Homo-oligomer: A and B are copies of this chain.
C-alpha cells in the first residue's frame, strides 16, 4: 500500500544507513537481506538482554530537534536500559519513520548514532525506513553472565540508595528550549546527548542489588524498585545531586523538584549494601562519574522525602507519563 508518490528510493536510504552501521566479527550478515544473522559466539553462553524504546516527535522531543542529537539519543536511551541491567551492548536494530526521505537529515542522524555506537563496539544489524510522522524505534541486544543481571526486585532494607551523575538538568534544558530562552549548553547537552552509564554498570554490577535507569523521574523510577522489592525508602532531598549549571539558573525548590520528577536523566538509581559503597565510589571515580548517596532502603513501605531538618518534603511537579 502506497498512498503517496515516491520521493527517493528507500534503498538509497538503507545504503546510507549501512555506511554508518559499524562492524563486529560475530555478525555473520548485517544490513541487506530479509533479516540479520549473528553468531552464537556474540553471547558466549551468557544471557541475552533485549530492550526497545520509541521516541516520537512532539511526545519525546520537540519538533526541530537536531537530527544528530536524535541519532545519539535514540540509541542512548536504549543503552541506558541495558546499563540498568548491568549488560554489555552488542547489536541493535533501528526503525525510522520519516515525513520525507531527506538524506541530509539522515546523514546527520546516523553521525550522531555512530559516534555513540562506536564507543560500545555496537553494530547496527538492520531495520526499516518508512514514511509517516517522525518516530524512531530502537531495539538493542546485549549480554550479561547468568545470574548477574541487575533487576528492580533485589533491593533490601538497609541498602543505600545511590544515583550516578546529576538529576534535573535535562528537564531544565527542555524548559529553556521551550521558552526559547538563552539556554545553558550544559543543560541542553544533558537533554540532547545523555550518556548511558554502561561502563559503570558492567564494572559495578557485582556490588549492586537493585538498579533502574532514571527516565521517568527519580520518584517514579525509584518507586518501581520499591514496588518490585516490597520495600520502602527515605530520600533526603538535600543530598540530591544538583549540577552547578542547574543550581545557577533554578532556585533550590525548582532544582530539587526537577531532580525528583523531571525525568529524561538517563542516570542510574541503584541500591547496595553499605559495605559496597567504597568499591562503587572507586569505580565511579575511575570513570570520572559522580556517585551520590541520596537515602536508604527501609522495610516500611512507601517513599518518604525529608528535608535537612528531617521534616517531610513535598515536591511540586507531576512525574512524567507517556500517556
Number of copies: 2
Identity of the chain B residue whose Cβ is nearest the Cβ of A51 in the assembled complex: B35
CA distance A49 to B28 in the complex (A): 10
Decide: A50 and B38 in contact? CB cutoff 8 A.
yes
CA distance A38 to B144 in the complex (A): 10
Binds B, one of A80-88, A114-122, A238-246: A80-88
Q: Does A111 have its Cβ within 8 Å of any Cβ on chain B?
A: no
Decide: A130 and B51 in contact? CB cutoff 8 A.
no
Interface size counted on chain A using CB atoms at 8 A: 81
User: Which of chain B's residues have a CB closer than 8 A to the CB of A228?
Assistant: 32-33
- Per-residue B-contact encoding for A295-323, CB less than 8 Å = 1, 0 else: 00000000000000000000000001111
State the Cβ distance, A101 to closest chain B Cβ, in Å: 4
Decide: A101 and B50 in contact? CB cutoff 8 A.
no
Decide: B126 and A51 in contact? CB cutoff 8 A.
yes
Decide: A1 and B264 in contact? CB cutoff 8 A.
yes
Decide: B130 and A132 in contact? CB cutoff 8 A.
no
Binds B, one of A40-48, A249-257, A286-294: A40-48
User: Which of chain B's residues have a CB closer than 8 A to the CB of A263?
Assistant: 1
Q: Does A213 have its Cβ within 8 Å of any Cβ on chain B?
A: yes
User: Which of chain B's residues have a CB closer than 8 A to the CB of A59?
Assistant: 1-3, 130-132
Decide: B52 and A95 in contact? CB cutoff 8 A.
yes
Q: Does A274 have its Cβ within 8 Å of any Cβ on chain B?
A: no
A-B contact pairs, 27 of them (CB 8 A): A1-B61, A1-B62, A2-B320, A9-B321, A10-B323, A32-B152, A33-B153, A34-B82, A34-B213, A35-B82, A35-B87, A36-B50, A37-B48, A40-B45, A42-B48, A50-B91, A50-B93, A51-B93, A52-B93, A54-B97, A54-B130, A56-B132, A57-B132, A59-B130, A128-B137, A131-B323, A139-B139
